[in-house]
Amino acid sequence: TSPRVQVVRPSLDGAFSARDLPAGTYRLAAVTDVEDDEWRRMEFLESLHDASVAIDVKAGATTLQDLRISG
């Protein structure tokens, strides 16, 4: 478990929010059909790298990022 890894689900309008992340650079990915604890495995997280977006979170600031899932 790490404060730098969070799993969030979108609200009914598709928006999502991750709170209390330490400042730093993160990878953000939107996925569907994930097994219950699959997101805890390093291999799974590494498999998302190419489809993820890098974001910088600054202390005390709000960061916005649009994501789209194609399918």
State the pLDDT confidence band at 55, using cuts at 50, 70 and 90: very high
pLDDT digits (tens, 9 = 90+) for 4-22: 788 888 889 888 888 888 9
28: buried, middle or exposed (CB in 10 Å: 19+, 13-18, 0-12)? middle
The pTM score is 0.74
